[in-house]
Amino acid sequence: MYEATRNVLGLMSGTSLDGMDAAIVRFEQGEHLDFKLLDFFHFPYPEALKILAEKTFFDRRLLPELEERFADWTVSVIRSVQDQSSHAFDVVGSHGQTVFHDPLNKSTVQAGNLPRIARETGCTLVTNFRIQDVLLGGQGAPLVPFGDHRLFGGYEAALNLGGFANVSIGEPFLRDGVHAAFDVCAVNRVLNVFAAELGQEYDRNGDFAREGAINAWVLEELDSLAYYEQAAPKSLGSEWVESTFLPLIDYLAPKDALATAVEHIAQQIVEVLGSRKTLVSGGGAFNGYLIQRMRMLGADLHIPDKTLVEAKESVIFALLAHERIQGRPNVIGSTTGSGIWHSSGSVFAP
């Protein structure tokens, strides 16, 4: 049912497994769609659930258990937000935890998106945003460019630095027409592996990488990976990191691996962005060394206030849910490869 004003809770848990972001967003539909971020929370990943998710990346037999446990956590997060915020909401857009992503074989799995979440929280749940696009022949990713298109103006490109780096580029950006949007390379999904070897969840400000030495041979091997020669649309998953990326670099000392990976990431991203005026979001925006390297290579990066950097993806999944409830398209088919603007997401009533 159409509503001019609606509050939606957007939930996002990325492949870096650092936690779940929760953004309450008010959407107001007039001549244009306006939004206001009302509240934002971050919930660290429970350690036992994180271990289970990591194991499930390699063993699909664990998926049913992960589905139930992630749903439990999602319910807990929603209830915590309901208790802590003064802003009410009755719709939740939940991304779930990506476990497998193989669009060539029409398969993508975001665990934990169970109908009981709606029943147990009393909120309409919109979820499973990727599978319809995959079945239509697309990559099911990236979905964030739709939000870039609808909500953020004044930039020639948008860059999200999460588990993976994905970009949205328009000519000009945020105008109707064909957009280039795709996953560029792995970021925190790789960097966190080597930070963990140094006893940290992540490389704060890129300080470990700054102390390491770049291995020129490994850097050349990484730069030569076949994925970078593929035409967009294209997307990456954890399987590619484990099977293709890490074997080329994981024998280096952790700080050297971080230095080499950061240089590789910076080069790949700047090769795509060039000097376009670019909005940056995601946890990698706080990696000072990575940002420094990209700027030194010629990138024109603009980082908004800290809350929006952290909240942007969860804001956009709130938007995807809002548009799905209204029955309006929320996927740009030209960016995902399906070629069809469509309204995607499973809707579960309380």
Higher confidence at residue 54 or residue 294?
294
Task: Judge contact between 131 and 335, C-beta under 8 A.
Answer: no
- Residue-number span of the structural domain to which 24 is assigned: 5-139+340-348
Average pLDDT of the segment spanning 187-215:
97
If asked whether residues 16 and 47 sit together in one domain, one would say yes
Residue type (1 letter), 232 = A
Q: Is residue 84 part of a domain?
A: yes
Work out whether strand 157-161 and strand 277-281 pair parallel, antiparallel, or are unpaired.
Answer: parallel
The answer on pLDDT for 138 being more than 60 is: yes
If asked whether residues 56 and 162 sit together in one domain, one would say no
If asked whether residues 44 and 190 sit together in one domain, one would say no
If asked whether residues 40 and 134 sit together in one domain, one would say yes
Q: pTM score, two decimals?
A: 0.79
Q: Is residue 23 part of a domain?
A: yes
CATH code for the domain of 269? 3.30.420.40
If asked whether residues 172 and 297 sit together in one domain, one would say yes
Q: Is residue 225 part of a domain?
A: yes
Q: Is residue 161 part of a domain?
A: yes
pLDDT of residue 2: 52
Average pLDDT of the segment spanning 2-27:
89
**Contacts with 225 (C-beta within 8 Å, 6 or more apart), sequence order:** 244, 245, 248
The answer on pLDDT for 3 being more than 70 is: no
Q: Is residue 112 part of a domain?
A: yes
Cα 328 to Cα 1, 319, 345, distances in angstroms: 11, 11, 11
pLDDT of residue 170: 66
**SS3 for 127?**
strand
Q: Is residue 104 part of a domain?
A: yes
Number of domains in the chain: 2
If asked whether residues 153 and 231 sit together in one domain, one would say yes
If asked whether residues 150 and 16 sit together in one domain, one would say no
If asked whether residues 93 and 135 sit together in one domain, one would say yes
Q: Is residue 151 part of a domain?
A: yes
CA dihedral (79, 83, 84, 88) positive or negative: positive
Q: Is residue 316 part of a domain?
A: no
Mean pLDDT, rounded, of the chain? 91
If asked whether residues 173 and 196 sit together in one domain, one would say yes
